[in-house]
């Protein structure tokens, strides 16, 4: 074999050969064989090749020179690669139907609708080559690592994502998103906006379906947090405090990054799913996400294995009396209160009426019904169409010739004063003056009876 290596070879002039590091190491070892410093068996052991493979490498080096050490698939299509027809078909589908899809979601749709199973890495490479995909912006450095919670229901991150979800097919709306910090399972619901009523409806449904979580993580929006008076609870803060839920406020979007990243995922996947189903209304979208989207999303992305669920059951809890608007009013002497510039008359029932000047609790439920409570007992009432007027008590006076008027006690001056009084009472002017004074004394000061209401509408009757 050494004699074969010592034969002269015809060199190729002006030929550039690109070799990998592994191929350069083989060339160095072959040169040492030529110099007689090492045997073929030792070289094969050093390069982790079999002895027969080493002889094959030496034979190619004898016939082709250094080019024989280069891998023969260099610069050619892989034997395991996709055909050009499949590559052209995938790029054509991307241009025509999926131009705004990222490679990961595009790979899923190709397998689901077109029976093409292509990895996202391969699709990314093809789309880069055809200038159809430029990639996403590089993520910013992570601020601080926070470990996930160890149980389902320990912490729920909640946020609203205002977006053109129907892409002009319907009105602009907001997606309310709750994601479990431990498992990553989500629950979403569409609403017109992120207001108190929509948030109440979302959490009413969440607790009925899954139970009461330990903590809720939200931003500092007006629905959740009052900036002017931090000690004062909003309607949402009061409701979750009644359920024993600890409320955490985030002072930056990065603090609740898990739900923010979930919003970005839904703006990609859910937006296209609504387009595929041709959904253009909030009602249809809520049915779709409840029955289809959330189930598929949690099956793909949530990890519930080995995690315990610490949601507390909501059995026996009247959620209607918790997720509602709540405020107080004072009871006046005629057992009335005011709300939205209307008088409400408290009625007698099996529950005793509250005494005047006591405080009653008004609760307006999500569907508009009004309920009045005193010491946790619900009171009957009716709304007065007009302002109730005070009843003037009729004073019954004895006649002038009544026997008690004839009885006289006192001196001469008292007798004259009594005669003067009896003469005055016999005139009509006295009675008119007395009645006007009674009306004036019983006049209400209604200006103090109207107070600002936190209930959602002041135009509708309770």
pLDDT in tens, 1-43: 434 344 444 444 467 888 888 888 888 889 988 888 889 888 8
At 2 the pLDDT is 38
381 and 429 share one domain: no
Counted domains in the chain? 5
The string of DSSP codes covering 131-200 is: T----PPPPPPP----PPPSEETS-EEEEEEEE-TTTTSS--EEEEEEEETTT--EEEEEESSS-HHHHH
* Phi, psi of 403, rounded to the nearest 5 degrees: -55, -35
At 142 the pLDDT is 55
Q: Does position 232 have pLDDT exceeding 90, yes or no?
A: no
Q: How confident is the model at residue 448 (pLDDT cuts 50, 70, 90)?
A: very low
Mean pLDDT (whole number) for 227-236: 84
* 137 vs 238, more confident: 238
430 is a domain residue:
yes
**DSSP designation for 364:** E
395 is a domain residue:
no
Mean pLDDT (whole number) for 66-70: 86
At 138 the pLDDT is 62
412 is a domain residue:
yes
At 20 the pLDDT is 86
At 408 the pLDDT is 55
At 18 the pLDDT is 83
255 is a domain residue:
yes
Measured N-to-C along each axis, helices 235-242 and 196-210 cross at an angle, to the nearest 10 degrees, of 20
Q: Does position 245 have pLDDT exceeding 80, yes or no?
A: yes
d(CA 422, CA 414): 12
* 72 vs 219, more confident: 219
448 is a domain residue:
no
pLDDT in tens, 107-118: 999 999 999 999
168 and 279 share one domain: yes
Burial (CB count <10 Å: 0-12, 13-18, 19+), residue 232: exposed
Q: Does position 414 have pLDDT exceeding 80, yes or no?
A: no
112 and 186 share one domain: no
Mean pLDDT (whole number) for 207-217: 94
Q: Does position 164 have pLDDT exceeding 80, yes or no?
A: yes
Helix, strand or coil for residue 376?
Answer: coil
Residue 236 is part of a domain; what is its CATH number?
A: 3.30.420.10
- Ranges 80-94, 134-148, 168-182, 343-357: which has the least confidence: 134-148
Q: How far is CA 46 from CA 21, 28, 49, 57, 197, in A?
A: 15, 12, 8, 14, 74
At 396 the pLDDT is 78
Phi-psi region of 14 (alpha: psi -120 to 50; beta: other; left: phi over 0): left
At 4 the pLDDT is 38
Q: Does position 443 have pLDDT exceeding 70, yes or no?
A: no
For the chain, the farthest-separated pair of C-alpha atoms sits apart, in whole angstroms, at 167
Q: Does position 449 have pLDDT exceeding 50, yes or no?
A: no
Give me the residue label for tokens 């989207």: 293
User: Is the overall model pTM greater than 0.85, yes or no?
Assistant: no
Pinpoint the alpha helices (H) of 76-138: 84-96, 103-113, 120-129
105 is a domain residue:
yes
Q: Does position 357 have pLDDT exceeding 80, yes or no?
A: yes
The answer to whether the CB of 66 falls within 8 A of the CB of 15 is: no
The answer to whether the CB of 188 falls within 8 A of the CB of 289 is: yes
Q: Does position 234 have pLDDT exceeding 80, yes or no?
A: yes
The answer to whether the CB of 239 falls within 8 A of the CB of 207 is: no
Burial (CB count <10 Å: 0-12, 13-18, 19+), residue 271: middle
88 and 27 share one domain: no
461 is a domain residue:
no
At 68 the pLDDT is 86
Mean pLDDT (whole number) for 303-318: 91
The length of the chain is: 462
417 is a domain residue:
yes
Mean pLDDT of the chain: 84
Helix, strand, coil percentages, rounded to 5, for the chain = 40, 15, 45
Domain range for 374 is 324-390
186 and 270 share one domain: yes
Mean pLDDT (whole number) for 170-199: 94
The answer to whether the CB of 52 falls within 8 A of the CB of 44 is: no
At 446 the pLDDT is 45
121 and 60 share one domain: no
* 462 vs 246, more confident: 246
161 and 203 share one domain: yes
Ranges 68-77, 245-254, 445-454, most confident:
245-254
160 and 290 share one domain: yes
The residues with which 249 forms a beta bridge, in sequence order, are 218
pLDDT in tens, 251-303: 887 778 889 999 999 999 999 999 999 999 999 999 999 999 999 999 999 99
At 416 the pLDDT is 77
Q: Does position 63 have pLDDT exceeding 80, yes or no?
A: yes
d(CA 31, CA 418): 148
Mean pLDDT (whole number) for 314-318: 90
Q: How confident is the model at residue 91 (pLDDT cuts 50, 70, 90)?
A: very high
180 and 93 share one domain: no
Q: Does position 454 have pLDDT exceeding 80, yes or no?
A: no
270 and 329 share one domain: no
61 and 116 share one domain: no
302 and 386 share one domain: no
């Amino acid at each position: 074999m050494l004699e074969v290596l010592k034969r002269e070879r015809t060199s190729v002039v002006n030929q550039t050969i690109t070799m990998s590091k592994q191929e350069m190491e083989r060339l160095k070892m072959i040169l040492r064989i030529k110099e007689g410093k090492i045997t073929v068996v030792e070289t094969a052991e050093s390069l982790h090749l079999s002895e027969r493979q080493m002889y094959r490498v030496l034979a190619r080096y004898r016939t082709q020179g250094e080019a024989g050490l280069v891998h023969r698939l260099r610069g050619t299509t892989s034997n395991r690669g996709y055909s050009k027809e499949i590559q052209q078909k995938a790029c054509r589908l991307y241009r025509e139907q999926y131009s705004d899809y990222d490679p990961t979601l595009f790979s899923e749709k190709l397998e689901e609708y077109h029976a093409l199973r292509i990895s996202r890495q391969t699709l990314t490479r093809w789309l880069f080559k055809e200038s159809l995909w430029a990639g996403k912006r590089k993520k910013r450095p992570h601020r601080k690592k926070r470990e996930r919670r160890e149980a389902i229901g320990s912490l729920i991150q909640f946020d609203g994502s205002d977006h053109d979800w129907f892409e002009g097919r319907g009105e602009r709306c907001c997606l309310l998103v709750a994601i479990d910090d431990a498992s990553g399972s989500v629950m979403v619901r569409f609403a017109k906006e992120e207001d108190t009523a929509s948030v109440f409806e979302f959490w009413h449904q969440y607790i009925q379906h899954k139970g009461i979580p330990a903590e809720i993580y939200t931003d500092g929006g007006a629905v959740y947090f009052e900036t002017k008076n931090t000690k004062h609870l909003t309607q949402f803060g009061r409701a979750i405090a009644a359920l024993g839920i600890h409320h955490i406020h985030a002072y930056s979007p990065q603090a609740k990054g898990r739900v923010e990243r979930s919003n970005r995922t839904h703006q990609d996947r859910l937006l296209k799913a609504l387009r595929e189903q041709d959904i253009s209304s909030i009602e249809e979208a809520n049915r779709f996400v409840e029955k289809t989207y959330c189930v598929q999303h949690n099956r793909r992305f949530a990890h519930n294995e080995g995690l315990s669920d610490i949601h507390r059951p909501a059995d026996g809890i009247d959620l209607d009396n918790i997720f509602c608007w709540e405020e107080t009013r004072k009871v006046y002497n005629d057992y009335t209160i005011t709300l939205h510039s209307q008088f409400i008359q408290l009625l007698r029932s099996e529950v005793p009426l509250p005494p005047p000047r006591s405080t009653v609790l008004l609760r307006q439920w999500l569907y508009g019904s009004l309920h009045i409570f005193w010491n946790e007992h619900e009171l009957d009432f009716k709304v007065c169409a007009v302002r109730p007027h005070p009843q003037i008590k009729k004073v019954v006076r004895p006649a002038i010739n009544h026997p008690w008027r004839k009885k006289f006690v006192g001196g001469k001056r008292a007798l004259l004063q009594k005669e003067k009084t009896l003469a005055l009472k016999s005139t009509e002017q006295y009675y008119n003056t007395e009645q006007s004074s009674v009306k004036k004394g019983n006049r209400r000061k209604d200006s103090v009876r109207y107070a600002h209401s936190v209930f959602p509408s002041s135009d509708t009757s309770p």
